[in-house]
Structure 1
Amino acid sequence: MHTAYIDSYKEIMRVRFRDTDAQGHMFFANYLVFADEVAGNYMRELGFDWSDTAKLPSYVFTVNASCDYIHECHAGDEVEVEVGYEKLGNTSATLGFSMRRVSDGEALAKGSFIQVFVNRDSRKPMPVPDSVRKILNASADKKT
């Protein structure tokens, strides 16, 4: 299930009872919630706190979210969530994610978010900021 990322970041999250549905496993939309939470932490680790828009070189709009369910998980399960950039385009980027249960390594889900970098004033697509490219390229160089 491993995807080749330009750079990646992992966190372990515990599935809470409130994350589950009436069938006793994690509600489908919460896979995206877990991935989005870890993605936000990853961006902060890279030096981009998207919640402080005044300091950002652009806005970032998520224009597509996809998730492939592979196996169920339940309340109390620890889930390793890995996120990473798979592709940087001119004005967009694809941030992939994968999830596995810590106790047995079972693959649970994989998916992606497509992000478009947007000019704060015009709210139109703009090139991926050089600062974003530099940080991701520097991170990728450390891995090789």
Structure 2
Amino acid sequence: MRAQNEAGSYAHRCRVYYEDTDAGGIVYYVNYLKFMERARTERLRQLGFSQSELVGDNLLFVVHSSEARYHAPARLDDELGITAEVIELNRASLRFRQQVRRVADNALLCEGQFLVACVRADSLKPRALPEALRSAFASGQGLSPAGD
């Protein structure tokens, strides 16, 4: 199922630190993936769920696949806005569309999609999203909480 509107997109802000950059002061490409991971985690927290509580409930989220496109570099001290929007909600997975933009000029720096699977913490086998989590993502994104 697909998002019906853009209203449910979540935005997280962060600053580029020295540790995020290479010798030229440009963000190292893999760090965009870290920024996007943090935005997904903060989206989960904003919906009322923490990773540590979910692990206690025998649930983990793992990235099944990722796709990223790089458009322009972020640099030391840039403030970034990172979006996390669920565009597909399945029985045991979520697909996120994400963008990293520089706040100062709204320039698109990186964009990507991530398929995140829900698995059992003890076995790493797929498991259905708990109904409370499924409903929270569905209502926050304009999606229907029905099955696949």
Give the alignment's TM-score, normalised by structure 2: 0.82
In the TM superposition, what whole-angstrom CA distance separates every residue of 1:53-103 from its partner, at most 9, and x where no partner exists? Answer: 11x362222222322111111101111111121111222111221011111
Q: Which amino acid aligns with 1:63?
A: H
1:37 corresponds in structure 2 to 38
1:79 corresponds in structure 2 to 80
Secondary structure of residue in 1 paired with 2:30: helix
Secondary structure of residue in 2 paired with 1:61: strand
Within 1, Cα distance between the matches of 2:141 and 2:63? 23
Secondary structure of residue in 2 paired with 1:35: helix
2:146 corresponds in structure 1 to none
Are the aligned partners of 1:5 and 1:86 in contact in 2 as well (CA < 8 Å)?
no
Q: Which amino acid aligns with 2:19?
A: R
Are the aligned partners of 2:26 and 2:75 in contact in 1 as well (CA < 8 Å)?
yes
Q: Which moved more, 1:75-84 or 1:57-66?
A: 57-66
Q: Does residue 102 of structure 1 match 2:103?
A: yes
* Long gaps (5+) in structure 1: none
Are the aligned partners of 1:57 and 1:129 in contact in 2 as well (CA < 8 Å)?
no
Give the alignment's TM-score, normalised by structure 1: 0.84
In structure 2, do the counterparts of structure 1 residues 120 and 77 end up closer, same or farther at CA, with 3 Å as the change threshold? closer
Identity of aligned residues (%): 27
Secondary structure of residue in 1 paired with 2:52: coil
* Long gaps (5+) in structure 2: 143-148
Within 2, Cα distance between the matches of 1:114 and 1:103? 29
Secondary structure of residue in 2 paired with 1:7: coil
Within 2, Cα distance between the matches of 1:45 and 1:6? 15
Q: Which amino acid aligns with 1:139?
A: G
Q: How many Å apart are 1:112 and its aligned residue?
A: 2.3
Q: How many Å apart are 1:121 and its aligned residue?
A: 4.3
5 Å-filtered alignment, 1:43-122, equals 43-52=44-53, 53-54=55-56, 56=57, 58-122=59-123
Within 2, Cα distance between the matches of 1:33 and 1:122? 25
RMSD: 1.9
Q: How many Å apart are 1:5 and its aligned residue?
A: 5.3
What is the number of equivalent residue pairs in this alignment? 137
1:23 corresponds in structure 2 to 24
Within 2, Cα distance between the matches of 1:112 and 1:83? 9
